Structure 1
Amino acid sequence: MGDAAAHRHFAAQAVLSGEPLTVHDAEGRSVSADCVLIDPLTPHRLVASPSAELIFLEPSRYAATELEAKLRQIRQTRSLAVLRGAPGQEFWARWLSSPTPAPRPLDPRLQAAMLVLEEDLSEGPTPLKRAAAVAGLSPERFRHLFAEEVGLPYRRFLLWRRLRLAAEHLLAGRDATVAAHAAGFADAAHLARTLKATFGVTASQLHLATPSA
């Protein structure tokens, strides 16, 4: 697995491998280790590694039980490198220095809004006013609380969730048009541009990653 072009993710990323792998940043610098941790919104390109495993850690899903074993594995990795993000985006440095990595639960008001966001994904982005109303907050207060609690601006988080939904459809073997509409994108071309900018891959490359029957 490798990246054809430099790109960045809205979520923190961990790349695990049984052998040293290399990741380049936007300045041409590189880091090599068995586990490379990449901060959110950090441009990078992964050199091809057949055994690489990618983990995307959404801030709101940081406490998910299905990730706990992987997070423990990361902490126990001997060969570890961090591709640091810009100030304010340094997720992994804070996590590694924390004696108790498990975060506090998401604010209950945001939990209610999150349910609506998930329900609306196929229709496109949920308007900020609608999400704020569900949370019982003013739009401005909701915007600030969301960024503080989730770790990403509201609009960026919505785009990330829609991309994930589209990727799930593509990996299930559905064509790009179906995947685009299912995730609320205008058309396949819109989805393709966003996939390329965010993941560094095309819809056809995701199709190739689909397991054969």
Structure 2
Amino acid sequence: MTEIEERGVEVAADGEQISLPGTLLLPPRAKALIVFAHGSGSSRLSPRNRAVAEALAEQGFATLLFDLLTEAEARDRANVFDIPLLAERVGAAIRWVRASPNLGALALGLFGASTGAAAALVAAAKAPGEVGAVVSRGGRPDMAEGALLSVEAPTLLIVGGADHGVIELNEAAHAALRCPAKLEIIPGATHLFEEPGALAAVVDLAARWFDLTLTAGPARWNDGE
């Protein structure tokens, strides 16, 4: 098993007026860094995102899970669905990573769940030169609205086969994206991917996507997709 270093960090946001707690997982010689954007009502402690982050770290990806809202902000339910605000916080995490001497040179991907997927896509659209790939797990990419047309980073949309309603929203978003994009449906999985093997399938798809887009180089990416 890979020896993973875990660090507690503070991500500066809003012109460094607030600090958002985060958890950084660092495998030896990390090949890229994945920033997580959790869904509504969740936090950096989300057991599903934490499980995905740990599994990706085992495969050589550094990962950053952080709270998109302060405790006071999270008490206002309107903030949980404020995609522009959440996207700005993802953007703050991107800037924090780039300013870090030890992390700044790594290729960077975003992993969003539920409403966090919309925030990740909006952030990617606003930072085309910084974000190399996006993965959405059970996401609401439709909430990114017009930003979908501006996303340049290769995007993978993962949806459960029993997540009715969300499948159709992801199909529409997939059709709207102009970047290299793929829609993967995991048979029998519901919105939270709680079924046996469902989350492992998410990890496998995400790891392959990040390997292709962040570490393989343009030639292999074009051949692979």
The answer to whether TM tops 0.5 is no
> Taking structure 1 as the reference length, what is the TM-score of the superposition?
0.31
**Where is the helix percentage greater, Structure 1 or Structure 2?**
1
Which structure has more relative contact order (CA 8 Å, sep 6+)? It is 1
Q: Which has the larger radius of gyration?
A: 1
> Taking structure 2 as the reference length, what is the TM-score of the superposition?
0.30
